[in-house]
Chains A and B, each alone.
Chain A
Amino acid sequence: MSAASQRRHATLYRRLLENMLLICLVPLFLVGGAAYLQFKHYAGRMVLDQQERLVLNHRDFIESYLRGRIAELTAITNQYTLEQLRAGELERVFAVIQQGAGIYTDIGIIDDRGDHMKYVGPYNLEGRNYSGSQWFLALKSRYLVVSDLFMGYRAVPHFIIAVKHPTPAGFWILRASLSTDYFSQIVEGIRVGGTGEAFLLDRQGLYQTKTLVGGDPLQPSNFPYLSPHRGVRTVDLKVGGRTFLCSHVWIFGDQWLLVFRQERAEAFAPLQRALWTWVFITLAALVVVCLTTLAIARNLVGFVARADAEKESLHAQLLASSKMAAVGEMAAGVAHELNNPLGIIETLRTWIMDLVPEKGLAHEDVPEVIDSARKIGDQVERCRRITHDLLKFSRRVESERARTDINALLGEMLGMVEHRAKADNVRFEFEPGPLPIVVTSPSRLQQIVLNILNNAVDAMEARGGLVAVRTWAREDSIQISFKDSGCGIPEENLQRVFEPFFTTKPVGKGTGLGLAVCYGLVQQLGGELEVQSRVGIGTTFTLTLPVVPPEGGRSV
């Protein structure tokens, strides 16, 4: 294939690759990018929703726990008289409400002056006065107080629940302190992963329960979002160089802020894993698209290259056959026009030869004139040969087809040429293979075979040699090979042997039309003629003929 074609195919391959990659990759990136953003948004939202739902559920749990304790203490004040409790019922009741779980640390009764009248618990608090305590002052206007975490007389952080019971003379108070450890366990009960924890803050931001990262109870938390608000809020917060996702909600009548926090990386780890999977799938798709595109582009360009090669070959054949046709037309005209004057020359020559001896020429000149006239005759004969070859070459008339025994026909032809060949010391070897009867034009085939055999004998140049003729059958055609041990045809001439007027024979020996005539005749018979040659070794002509000529083919 030409260098220009190769360049064109390389350009086609590059453009095809660029365009196909563009067409495939742009939608891939658009769809993939949009899916990535959507997924990230919704999955992120899901993580937040899940955390917020967890916090709200936990708030409800803590609140119902506290309300249970309040209901418990209120029931005691309603069911027992002050006297009963002081007389010893308090110890019994305390044992019952502890349920063996240590929910409370202690319990006591305080009169309306703030004096501790009765105490059941591990500390020595009986007789203490609480009239100055915040919770006692608050009870003046309310019947129930749940305190923030404070130290009090026992110097240990604790919560108290105080229930006021009115009497005709005034009131008394049942006060119980909640076990800090037990309450902390309730609050911390929703540990998630390695870093997720819940804790309570009071309105001043002091820790009310224990934490993993941060501080101990009653230490300041520095939590910046302490303003009252409705519902749950979630923010990012840096603690000790790590970013936490913090969801917080006010609980128990805005008394405490319930905070749940988890390190952001841990909270979003499943999302991150899903995103890595997405990246992997996208890269795999990218690789598949690139490889497929490469393969398709290569196949397409290969297909185009094959089609182009076929087109180039067809173009060359078309050029050759139109050249043959043009030469044929011209040859017929020239040959016919030449034959008439040649006829006249021949007749005039005959006239001269008839006249010369009688017209009194000098005696010694007569043989010269006759000799010249004879030579004119030789040249006319030579011209006649050329014009007749030309006419054969241009022949377009119909010839009858017949069922032909190719081996028999070849045998006859070899017999005919053998006589001349013997003089040139050329031997023939005929290896007929089993052949079907072929429908073809015997006279055309005779012409073809005769031309090829004469050429083979000429190729030996009187040195002598061997011409091997072989026949064999193929699927729906037969083949005849003519292999000579002659001088061979140089590579540069091999392409031209079927061109009209191409000859390497000495001037006057060949018209350069023999093989061109053969080529044309073989085409008319619907066959093919191929030549292979090596200089000094010999030439092989291979003739392929269809067993039945194609319908609508060229006329024979």
Chain B
Amino acid sequence: MARARSVLLVDDETLFLATMAKVLARHGLEVLVAPDAASAMDIMERTDPDVVVLDVRMPGQNGLEALRLMKERHPMTPVILLTGHGTVDDGQEAFRSGAFDFQTKPAKVSKLLETIEEAIRSRGLVEEAARRQPT
């Protein structure tokens, strides 16, 4: 695959961003970080990351609104929602809005990594299928 495996982390907790970025980088991912939804949209316009990990509760635009916007502009980019206020109903809402997965904080890094890998693989398959059936 020509594309680098890149992850965009969006969270208002800077310590969380910094630590998670280091951990994910150590597992071979290129990590981009954004402290809010607006910066995340800017980064996506410029670099098109393979996958986005998005916090639900943030100041300004919240994660679910950002998710809808991202799916509108970048429908191929899988978005994993991460929240401290995890409920089944929030999860259902996330999936309805097009989230790839929904995980609750504190998330096990190993599980998150698995999900990221899965999302990238899934995106690759989808893009492959799209290339074979040009419109």
Contact = CB atoms under 8 A, between A and B. Distances in A.
B118 to A, nearest CB: 18
Given A346-B109, A351-B22, A384-B106, A336 B57 contact: yes
A394 to B, nearest CB: 10
A235 interface: no
A395 B87 contact: yes
A48 B13 CA distance: 116
A354 B86 contact: no
A476 interface: no
Contacts of B105: 339-340, 342-343
B115 interface: no
A354 B26 contact: yes
A350 B13 contact: no
B87 A346 contact: no
Q: Tell me what chain B mostly uses at the interface: helix, strand, loop, or mixed.
A: mixed
Interface residues of A, number: 28
A443 B89 CA distance: 11
A343 B107 contact: yes
B26 A346 contact: no
B95 interface: no
A388 B104 contact: yes
A342 B104 CA distance: 11
Contact of B109 (A336, A340, A350): A350
A347 B110 CA distance: 10
Interface in A314-364: 332, 335-340, 342-348, 350-351, 354
B106 A336 contact: no
Contacts of A391: 85-87
A338 B109 CA distance: 18
Contact of A350 (B23, B82, B84, B88): B23
B33 to A, nearest CB: 13
A365 interface: no
A492 interface: no
A347 B15 CA distance: 10
B19 interface: yes
A399 B89 contact: yes
Interface centre among A345, A350, A354 (most CB of B within 10 A): A350
A380 interface: yes
Nearest to A340: B84
A354 B19 contact: no
Nearest to B20: A347
A399 B91 CA distance: 12
A397 interface: yes
B88 A344 contact: no
Interface in B11-43: 13, 15-16, 19-20, 22-23, 26
Interface string A389-403: 001100101110000
B108 interface: yes
A339 B23 contact: no
Contacts of A347: 16, 19-20, 23, 106, 109
A223 B89 CA distance: 119
Contacts of B15: 344
A335 B106 CA distance: 11
Given A350-B23, A354-B23, A343 B16 contact: yes
Given A344-B13, A347-B16, A351-B19, A339 B106 contact: yes
Nearest to A397: B89
Contacts of A346: 106-109
A320 B26 CA distance: 51
Interface string A369-406: 00000000000100110001001100101110000000
Nearest to B13: A340
Contacts of A340: 13, 16, 84, 105
B56 to A, nearest CB: 10
A314 to B, nearest CB: 31
Given A350-B23, A351-B23, A343 B106 contact: yes
A384 B82 CA distance: 14
A397 B86 CA distance: 12
Nearest to B85: A336
A59 to B, nearest CB: 116
Nearest to A333: B85
A398 B89 contact: yes
A443 to B, nearest CB: 7
B85 A380 contact: no
Contact of B84 (A336, A348, A395, A399): A336
Contacts of A384: 104, 106
A345 B108 CA distance: 11
B89 A388 contact: no
Contacts of B57: 336
Contacts of A392: 87
Contacts of B107: 343, 346
Nearest to A383: B106
B50 to A, nearest CB: 20
A363 B50 CA distance: 39
A339 B87 CA distance: 13
A397 B87 contact: yes
A398 B87 CA distance: 12
A380 B26 contact: no
Given A344-B13, A347-B20, A397-B87, A339 B26 contact: no
Nearest to A399: B89
Nearest to A342: B106
30 contacts: A339-B83, A339-B85, A339-B86, A339-B104, A339-B105, A340-B13, A343-B16, A343-B82, A343-B84, A343-B105, A344-B13, A344-B15, A344-B16, A345-B106, A346-B106, A347-B16, A347-B23, A347-B106, A350-B23, A351-B22, A351-B23, A351-B26, A354-B23, A383-B106, A384-B106, A391-B86, A392-B87, A395-B87, A397-B89, A399-B89
4 shortest interchain CB distances as A-B pairs: A339-B84, A343-B105, A350-B109, A342-B106
Given A343-B16, A346-B108, 6 more contacts: A335-B84, A336-B85, A338-B84, A344-B19, A348-B19, A384-B104
Interface of B: 13, 15-16, 19-20, 22-23, 26, 57, 82-89, 104-110
